[in-house]
Amino acid sequence: MLIMFLAWFVAVVIEARKQRSAAEKILGERRGWLVALSCVAGLASLVAAGNLIVTGARGIAISFGIDEFIIGATIVAVGTSVPELATIVIAKLRGHDEVGLGTILGSNIFNGIFIVAIAAIICPITVGWREVATTLTFGLLALLFTYPTRKGFIGRRRGVLLLVLYAVFLGTLLQR
């Protein structure tokens, strides 16, 4: 998984270098110290929020007797996706659809390959085969539904279809 991540990351860096000159024209100059300070503050906040989310979700799962996988696939997934949703809405309002799509795809690739690999290296992950099969099946369906048409457009109907797919996924998980 780490080799897959590395290959993806190299491809992204190569593409970013190709587009670097265009980005400088759009963004303008930035103060390096302010960017570094913002990154450190953001990372510290992210780590703190992550710890709170995991602790809270685990407490919910234990107190209600709900499987931790279901809590992870629902409450934690929604909670950790809210910043991505905010980024996508702002990007869309500013006319940068590619930023929104890149946020979602990049996050899913990063989480699905890098984070799972690192977590498994630290402590092996034990998940039931049925849960994995269900999640992968719905993930592949979601991937098919988000594949753009030849015009490069993902319309409202597909958005509604994806919401319905997520609702069916949740229903399938809760049914077990």
Which stretches of the chain drop beneath a pLDDT of 70? 20-30
Q: What is the per-residue pLDDT for 108? A: 79
Query: Measured between alpha carbons, how far is 6 from 11 in angstroms, rounded to an integer?
Result: 9
pTM of the model: 0.64
Q: What is the per-residue pLDDT for 67? A: 79
Q: What is the per-residue pLDDT for 168? A: 94
Residues contacting 50, CB < 8 A, separation 6+: 80
Q: Report pLDDT digits (tens) over 34-56.
A: 778 888 888 888 778 877 877 88
Question: What percent of the chain has pLDDT above 90?
Answer: 12
Domain locations in the chain as residue ranges: 1-7+42-126, 127-176
Compute CA distances 89 → 82, 150, 157, whole Å.
11, 24, 18
